[in-house]
Structure 1
Amino acid sequence: MTAPIFPLSAVVGMDDLRLALVLNAVSPAIGGVLVRGEKGTAKSTAVRALAAVLPAVEVVSGCRFSCDPADIDPDCPDGPHDFAGPRESRPARLVELPVGASEDRLVGALDIERALAEGVKAYEPGLLAAAHRGLLYVDEVNLLGDHLVDLLLDAAALGMSYVEREGVSIRHRSRFLLVGTMNPEEGELRPQLLDRFGLTVEVAAPREVDARAEVVRRRLSFDADPTSFAAGFSAAESELASRILTARELLAQVALPDAVLRQIASVCASFEVDGLRADIVIARTAVAHTAWEGRSVVDGDDVRMAARLALPHRRRRNPFDAPGLDEEQLDNALDDHSNDDDPHDDGPGGAPAPQDSPAPADSSSPTDSGSAPERPMPAPGESFAAPTDTFRTRRLEVPGVGSGAAGRRSRAKTDVGRVTGSSRPTGKAGRLHLVSTMIAAAPQQKARGRTSAGLILRRQDLRLARREGRESNLVLFVVDASGSMAARSRMGAVKGAVLSLLLDAYQRRDKVGLVTFRGDSAELALPPTSSVDTAAARLTVLRTGGRTPLAAGLLRAREVLRVERLRDPRRRALMVVVTDGRATRRGGGDLEDAYRTAALLAAEGTAAVVVDCESGPVRLGLAGKLAMALGGPAVRLEELAADTLAASVRTFTGAA
């Protein structure tokens, strides 16, 4: 007997979350739910509770891939099945995908036990097979390794899992309700996976005292006696399950009028969402909501509800944009279409009628985002420059091969990356490379007296997989904010370039830090963090002016890197110094001190890139000298185009 789980109907508040989960249960074609929220907000509790109210599924008896007797998969590895064969009904499965899972665990692989014991090639299904016609749950989905994300994306998009590995060539259906939960403080989600989720919900702990007290009361009651607590909500759970089943049956009868479909298109066009997936998701969600409400015709209220859940994560085009949806703009878009007497009339001259709703903010500049702090007033002797537009950069790599946390920047030896070969065991733990092990043992079978099925193995036959993937790094920006950098146009370009590199760091799952120096000292403007939008906000309001304590900036960076090495020895760092190379301080001598500090950083193995911000007809080349002392390349600010920067970094790192 399984232990009772916390009932979905017992969850306090979080109406949007419960509605999004229920609508996906009614119509799995919506595409799943992404639940974003701070820690301790019952995200996982609600998701696990959903499985208990999902309708049971009818499957072919004995099929490991949950084939539907009414729609048998002709390519099922356990087939062929007989349409008139035995069948059984079982509860829908909740399958959890751990963040640290291997590819074998997700897609399946060669059945090692049968291969070694019987000498036959057989397939062992993975989690994608187990999740077919059920719920696939990924906790901390934003921390999921890229190699698993790619496989998950393919299965979610195609409804089919393809396995081509270790001599196994298999494909099987894999259609599931995908639910992911994440804490945005730990980093954002890869954009390709973000768009795959049909709906998104932001959750937070209630601020009302009564609601918080009720949450605690119910949790304590459940922990004290789970069985009795669950029994107290059994009637509500049964009613919820019955309503989901009724809505599923009504789904095919719901009508989506053409006027409502045009209204959906109008809303998506107003918000300028990319592609057409949002239109499709809103339509499916509105139909599911209509069925959930027991009606047969979709109306504007259904569209509004669906848009509130389907659009927020598709409006966020980079990590510097504020999440959420402008509901006033949504209402305007809905009203504009509703008040249009002739939906085919585009206005005088055939031109589209102007929208009353405000135009969406330009996502290329974080200063347009609601998340950016208010611009400070500069003090006497200081200035403030807004950043220029961001641009796309290519990968900067730390030299060599590391072993840090999974990411998308530098080369690394990993336990979950692609297999690049095999090697004999050296005393360290590792994953068995089955094919290489069998190849090593095969020539010895006759000498070992093999007379029946199975493979005779010896210790010397064992081979471990050698894998290589990508790691995330610490990218520490050291920015000169002195008076020599204070020219308005130049500092704006500097900020735009650093913001572009921050965007790249977000996409590659790096930690970022920000050291600035001006006046008589340097400060750690942002301790190393995974929240690059915070770094962008700090940089956006950065003021400039005063002397140039270059040596102090490098010493502060060295101290930050030293502390981070102690905290996370496996995470390698890349220091990006943004300066014109000048150094001035009271008493003089700062330039010599700066070069000595740079040489010390180079001797400690710190990888560095210098962005040369010197301008004017006469150039002193000081940033180039600093780069030589650091042992890294120097890239002029006006040459900081993606291709130029990438070429310079490849020259430095030897990357292909």
Structure 2
Amino acid sequence: MPSLFPFSAIVGSDDMALALTLTAISPAVGGVLVRGEKGTAKSTMVRALARILPPIEVVAGDRFSSDPAEREPLSPDGPFPTDAPVETRPVRLVELPVGATEDRVLGSLHLERALNEGVTVYEPGLLARAHRGILYVDEVNLLHDHLVDLLLDAAAMGRSTVERDGVSIEHAARFVLVGTMNPEEGELRPQLLDRFGLTVEVAAPRDPRTRVEVVRRRLAYEADPDGFAARFAGAELKLTRRIRTARELLERVVLGDAALLKIAEVCAAFEVDGMRADIVTARAAAAHAAWHGRAAVTREDVRAAARLALPHRRRRNPFDAPGIDEDLLDRILGEDELPPDPPPSDPSPPEPPSGPDSGPDSGPEPSGTSPDQGEGSGDDETWTPLDNDRPSASDGEPAGPEETETNSGTAGVASPDAPYRPKVFRVAGTGTGEAGRRSPALTRTGRRVGARRPDGSTGTVHLPETLRAAAPHQRARGRKGPGLRIRGEDLRVAVSQGRESNLILFCVDASGSMAARRRMAQVKTAILSLLLDAYRRRDKVGLVTFRQSAAEVVLPPTSSVDIAAALLRDLPAGGRTPIAEGLLAAAEVLRLERLRDPRRRPLLVVVTDGRATAGRDPVDRSRQAARWLAGTGVAALVVDCETGRFRMGLAHRLSVELRAEHVPLGEVAADALTAAVRERVA
């Protein structure tokens, strides 16, 4: 097996290296979340981290890696005698696949021994294997919610409890949680985001010389992995020794009152939620001091800790840029060094400091020259409330300067209002889509509702049903003695009912026929509000607009709040109304999404007054496009935006051709639009 790419050979990811190393020094910090674009060596650096960590001592033969120095280790293989043999082994890096089953993560009944020997034996899962090591989740933002719940429980309690299939087990599960993600593929569930102690935003270096060095090292590694690793063996050993020294020094690092007060001032200034930010920053600052060989926390340590511990905890709106304001951070910290704590006024011995048992926030020395990386980013886990005193479109006030009702090509840009929390809406029926948190569906996770024969897809074994299928055939199979004779046709897998994620695709008339600018501001607000809810529920939301003579996919189906905000901000409106082009463009988006994810059920929401005015025979072409789209079987809803005393009912006719529900709506107020969608899909 070829050697891994050395940790010390990675160029241009200094902040990430700092966060990983400090968390390794003090696991109490709570792990690292790495956000960044594709091709920035996120996975490479995480996998290389385990190779530079000092080895650990474990009780020989214990499947749960118990610490021999622990008085009463929480291990199902215990209790152990005081003179139990001890062995030394490297720190494990356990990778948790995003598609893993609950049995694989928690562990379950040892099926082979249960069937052949008739005994109940627990087979440990990934959480047990990761104890005292690193649990790595690549694409952590795509992790199914049932696995997120398991990680939250283990991270909070430091132990894992298994109660299933006749097994009742509890074992220690303390690990460094490291996750990597690409924000373009969706955001992270807020509860899990808050569990990461540190976060880092990585990007490819922009300095050409640094990029050349990255390519040079990668090509050298691929040509001779073992030889390349040997070149950096000395640097790797130096990092290992430095981490071991920092761990020993961490217990003696003094986190004085002045440092604690400065940490509190920084956290208060950035308006973080809760007290976890203060605690993590204090632990990271102490670890940073130990990493640099200092016996007391300094201003530099607090600054480094705040840069990594606060970005994903500070309050921000969806339109705000991620990261923290470093100028504000420097003003709060000031230029003077933290004063030392005054000596105690009485001769009694001082109490031990509260911070040294906490974790790290800095990594190895920079291995190459590169521009500064972006600060770690995170998303506000709270909803932005609407200002009740602010006039809204539903109150009769325009959301922005109104577009003149004309069919000219002049386009205006309307900005959305502050997003709000929409009510939960669900697609009717029971689907089979990817696990999410919205509509009922038959999924791999959730509540067991039955059993079935395996059809080639993976699934959780339904043990009682498997035994029930095999039991009547034991005499015919010549069974003698204990144990059952199981054959392939006896196997049954569980049928689980949970929830799925959906796709809501808006097809919006952006022409100038009906005060489009006002309408677009309200539609933008509705989409962003639905998107904020959708990313928590693993949904996708997309937007197709049509104006002048063509349609445009303004917002491809996505779960990313940041990308949605950027694309929707400058959405223009005005011109003629090419309804046929809009419907055809929406059909193409749905077709492509069906190829990418055939099990995700969509709902098409068409927002228009039905007045087709662009192209030759526009009315006839729009009806033909609607009939063709209806033939694809997509569920649809037409929101009628026609206003005025005399109405032509064109949107209603369009809904008939589209086989969609028609919702008369004088004005497309954002809250009314969301209510209409909710009523249609409930």
Q: Which TM-score applies when normalising by structure 1?
A: 0.85
Partner residue, 1:299 = 298
User: 1:550 touches 1:594 (CA, 8 Å); kept in 2?
Assistant: yes
Equivalent AA in structure 1 for residue 66 of structure 2: C
Q: How far apart are residue 308 of structure 1 and its match?
A: 0.7
Aligned 8 A contact 2:259 2:338 in 1: no
Counterparts of 1:449 and 1:639, CA distance in 2: 73
2:574 corresponds to 1:545: yes
Tell me how far apart the structure 2 counterparts of residues 417 and 405 of structure 1 sit (CA, whole Å). 12
CA shift, 1:437, in A, is 0.7
For residues 504-548 of structure 1, what are the alpha-carbon distances to aligned partners after superposition, in whole Å with 9 as ceiling and x for unaligned? 333333444321122343333244445453333232212222333
1:143 matched to which residue of 2?
142
Deviation (angstroms), 1:40:
1.9
* Segment drifting more, 148-157 vs 622-631: 622-631
Say yes or no: does 1:605 pair with 2:633: yes
**What are the ranges of 5 or more consecutive residues in structure 2 without an aligned counterpart?**
340-378, 387-399
Tell me which amino acid in the other structure corresponds to 2:231: G
Question: Aligned to 1:502, which of 509, 512, 531?
Answer: 531
Listed as ranges, the matches of 1:127-166 within 5 Å are 127-166=126-165
Distance change in 2, residues 1:565/1:424 (3 Å): closer
Matches within 5 A, 1:405-554: 405-416=434-445, 418-425=447-454, 431-442=460-471, 445=474, 450-458=479-487, 461-486=490-515, 489-529=518-558, 531-554=560-583
Residue 32 of structure 2 corresponds to which residue in structure 1?
33
- Number of equivalent positions: 623
* 2:432 aligned with 1:385: no
Aligned residue for 2:154, secondary structure, equals helix
Match of 1:583 among 611, 619, 626: 611
* 5+ long unaligned stretches in structure 1: 341-359, 367-374
Please tell me whether residue 270 in structure 1 is matched to residue 299 in structure 2. Answer: no
Give the drift of 1:363: 8.6
Counterpart in the other structure of 2:6: 7
How far apart are residue 33 of structure 1 and its match?
0.9
1:61 aligned partner, one-letter code: A
Q: How does 1:200-239 map to 2 (within 5 A)?
A: 200-239=199-238
Quick one: which amino acid aligns to residue 80 of structure 2?
H
**Superposition deviation, residue 598 in structure 1:** 3.7
Distance 2:298 2:555 in 1: 48
CA distance in 2, matches of 1:61, 1:180: 30
Which residue is equivalent to 2:395?
A: none
Q: Does the CA-based 8 Å contact 2:101-2:460 persist in structure 1?
A: no
Residues 175-254 of structure 1 aligned to structure 2 (within 5 Å): 175-254=174-253
Alpha-carbon distance in structure 1 between the residues aligned to 2:615 and 2:103: 64
Deviation, 1:248, is: 0.9
- Alpha carbons of structure 1 residues 83 and 320: separation in structure 2 relative to 1, 3 Å: farther
Question: Hey, what's the Cα distance between the residues in 1 that align with 2:183 and 2:66?
Answer: 37
User: CA 1:336–1:614 in structure 2 vs 1: closer, same or farther (change >3 Å)?
Assistant: farther
| Whole-angstrom distance in 2 between the partners of 1:250 and 1:428 | 51
CA distance in 1, matches of 2:275, 2:543: 38
Distance 1:363 1:112 in 2: 45
Please show how residues 393-412 of structure 1 align to structure 2 within 5 Å: 393-412=422-441
What residue in structure 1 maps to residue 113 of structure 2? 114
Q: Which residue of 1 aligns with 2:363?
A: none
Q: 1:365 to 1:392 in 2, by over 3 A?
A: closer
User: Counterparts of 2:595 and 2:176 in 1: how far apart (Å)?
Assistant: 42
Greater Cα offset, 280-289 or 383-392: 383-392
1:240 shift after superposition: 1.2
Q: Helix, strand or coil: the match of 1:189?
A: coil
CA distance in 1, matches of 2:645, 2:436: 42
Which residue is 1:23 aligned to? Answer: 22
Shift in Å at residue 586 of structure 1?
A: 5.5
The 1:133/1:621 distance shift into structure 2, 3 A limit, reads farther
CA contact (8 A) 1:266 1:337 kept: no
Residues 635 and 289 (structure 1 numbering): CA distance in 2 closer, same or farther, change over 3 Å? Answer: farther
Worse-matched range after superposition: 499-508 or 92-101: 499-508
In the alignment, residue 297 of structure 1 is paired with which amino acid? A
Range with greater deviation from structure 2 (321-330 or 554-563): 554-563
For 1:351, the equivalent position in structure 2 comes to none
Structure 1 residue 384 displacement after superposition? 3.0
* Contact 1:73–1:173 (Cα < 8 Å) also in 2: no
Q: Which amino acid aligns with 1:95?
A: V
Structure 1 Cα separation of the partners of residues 440 and 555 of structure 2? 26
* Aligned CA distance change for structure 1 residues 138 and 428 (closer, same or farther; 3 Å): closer
Name the CA distance, whole Å, in 1 between partners of 2:562 and 2:598.
Answer: 25
CA contact (8 A) 1:399 1:607 kept: no
2:55 paired with 1:63: no
CA distance in 2, matches of 1:114, 1:441: 16
Once the two structures are superposed, what CA deviation does each residue of 1:143-182 show, in whole Å capped at 9, x if it has no partner?
2222212211211122111112222121111000111112
Return closer, same or farther for 1:429/1:150 CA change in 2, 3 Å cut-off. closer
Could you say which residue in structure 2 is the equivalent of 1:371? none
Q: Which amino acid aligns with 1:162?
A: T
> Is 1:314 aligned to residue 313 of structure 2?
yes
The superposition leaves residues 221-275 of structure 1 with CA deviations (integer Å, 9 ceiling, x where unpaired) of 3333333332322222222111111111111211111222121111111111122
- CA RMSD between the two structures: 3.5
1:560 matches 2:589: yes
Q: What is the CA-CA distance between 1:429 and the residue it aligns to?
A: 6.3
Q: Which amino acid aligns with 1:533?
A: D
Query: Structure 1 439/575 Cα, relative in aligned 2: closer, same or farther at 3 Å?
Result: same
> What one-letter code is carried by the residue in structure 1 that aligns with 2:633?
G
CA distance in 2, matches of 1:215, 1:376: 50
Task: Note the C-alpha offset of 1:587.
Answer: 8.3
Q: Give me the whole-angstrom Cα distance separating, in 2, the residues matched to 1:475 and 1:651.
A: 14
How far off is 1:385 after superposition? 2.4
Structure 2: how far apart are the matches of 1:26 and 1:188? 28
Moved more, 473-482 or 583-592: 583-592
State the alpha-carbon separation in 2 of the partners of residues 207 and 32 from structure 1: 28
- 1:347-386 to structure 2, matched below 5 A, reads 364=384, 381-386=410-415
Change (3 A) 1:615 1:152: farther
CA drift of 1:590 comes to 5.0
- Residue 64 of structure 1, CA deviation: 0.5
Match of 2:171 in 1: 172
CA change 1:171–1:317 in 2 (3 A) is: farther
Aligned to 1:279: 278
Contact between 1:153 and 1:196, CA under 8 Å: does it hold in 2? yes
Equivalent position amino acid for 1:433 in 2? H
Give the whole-Å Cα distance in 2 for the aligned partners of 1:210 and 1:237.
24
Distance in 1, matches of 2:212 and 2:516, equals 56
Asked if the contact 1:475–1:505 (Cα under 8 Å) also holds between the matched residues in 2, the reply is: no
Aligned residue type for 1:573: P
